[in-house]
Amino acid sequence: MKKKIWIFNHYATNMFTDRNGRHYAFAKYLLKSGHQPTIFCASTVHNADENFIHENQKYTTNQVDDIPFVFIKTPSYEGNGQQRVKNMFHFYKNLFPVAKEYAKLYGKPDVILASSVHPLTCVAGIKIAKKLGIQCICEIRDLWPESIVDYGMLKEKSLLSRLMYMGEKWIYKKADKLIFTMEGGKDYIIERGWSKENGGPIDVSKVFHINNGVDLELFHLNRENFTFEDPDLNNPDLFKVVYAGSIRKANNVKKIVDIANVILQKGNHHIKFLIYGRGPERETLEEYCKEENIQNVEFKGYIEKRQVPYLLSKSNLNIMHIDNTNLKKYGASLNKMFEYFASGKPTITDCEFGYDLLKKYQCGIVIDGATKEQLAEAIIEISKPNSIEYETYCKNALIAASDYDFKVLTKMVMW
């Protein structure tokens, strides 16, 4: 049965501009199957000085690749302070009148998929679905407030935390179905004592898992069409270790630089670290490399998202460094990881997740809590020519990518 589907995602505005991302991919493959998806998102672009609405209107609409987008009026903001919180509340508040008006114009949907980065989107989805007499699927991509508590930004026993946990439990109870992007979502509910088996209000039989993924069709298209010149990438004599992402303290890119230094001190001059991205730590780390004479690291700067597939196709090894937290036991849903899989190259990381996909598919090296010396030794070992293990990792990475192709994942959603 073909369905009309509304997707609520505050931050899908980036997906309109990038023509990429989880819900863009869902909508793309839903359209191909004859469904009618519409994406509702904020008028502001996260981390950019751009707003699609400057006049006195509640919303505006546009299309990209035949996917309708509805931009809800939200105020511009910078950073992660009070202005961003205000932006979230405006999105929540304005969704209600916009959904009502849009339903009058184009008919009500058969189902709403409300996706969290923040939980207010799920709250709005549940309430709007109830008014329309339809189902709401809530997609949980971050555990709020657990993530904030785990990073020390909020005390677990504070009044605000307790209120947020109550709100989280309400969402899980009221949603018709729950999709967690991390595989341990059901574990989380059980551990909090919220499942019916533990006397709680939540039926875990309505809890499902659909991880993030990669649109292989788009990945391959971009790899062929958005190339760029880089002498290091095209140097066959180098074993290229690639990091692509933000260069900020939270990502601790300095550890990657220190790993490179250990490798250099051991005389392995054929291994070079190529760091792509921008962020406040870049200048400091470049200066650090000069002071310490670390010559096997190159900061390449920002590249467009559509150029990432070409970059990764030229890599020999992708590196993923993540701070260890208590949340890792519930699994990972990192966009970057699936692009790494699609490159057909192995990945090395110092963080072992619950339900770890690198270990499951045997497509990389996982050394939980590894020191820079341990990671350096592992990179030196895998860089040796004619490594059978290396070829196995490459083959398995492509198998993982095919399993997490959005063409496959879209069919898993219970519309």
Task: List domains and CATH numbers for the chain.
Answer: 4-213+406-410 (3.40.50.2000), 216-403 (3.40.50.2000)
pLDDT of residue 408: 98
pLDDT of residue 286: 98
Cα distances (angstroms) measured from residue 166 to each of 180, 190, 191, 322, 390: 18, 15, 15, 29, 48
Strands 59-64 and 271-276, by their bridges, are: unpaired
Euclidean distance between the first and the last CA atom of the chain, given in angstroms as a whole number: 10
Please say whether the beta carbons of 122 and 116 come within 8 A. yes
Q: Which of 213, 222, 56 is nearest to 141 (CA)?
A: 213
**Joined tokens for residue 27:** 């909508």
Any idea what the Cα angle at residue 127 is, between residues 124 and 133, rounded to 5°? 135
**Joined tokens for residue 299:** 């900061």
Average pLDDT per block of 10 residues along the chain, 415 residues long: 96 95 98 97 90 92 98 92 94 98 98 95 98 98 90 87 96 98 97 96 98 98 97 96 91 95 97 96 97 98 95 97 88 94 98 97 97 98 91 98 98 90
pLDDT of residue 321: 85
Q: Which of 324, 332, 390 is nearest to 360 (CA)?
A: 332
pLDDT of residue 149: 87
Which residue shows structure tokens 């072992």? 352
Please say whether the beta carbons of 117 and 142 come within 8 A. yes
Q: Which of 310, 320, 309 is nearest to 375 (CA)?
A: 320
Strands 111-116 and 4-8, by their bridges, are: parallel
3-class SS at 321? coil
DSSP state of 214: B
Amino acid (1-letter code) at residue 256: I
Residues of the chain by 3-state class (helix, strand, coil), percent to 5: 45, 20, 35
pTM (two decimals): 0.94
Task: For residue 121, give the H/E element and its range.
Answer: helix 120-132
3-class SS at 239? strand
pLDDT of residue 324: 79
CA gyration radius, the chain: 22
| DSSP letter string, 245-296 | S--SGGGTHHHHHHHHHHHHHTT-TTEEEEEE---TTHHHHHHHHHHHT-TT
How far apart CA 3 and CA 336 sit, in angstroms, is 31
How far apart CA 170 and CA 164 sit, in angstroms, is 10
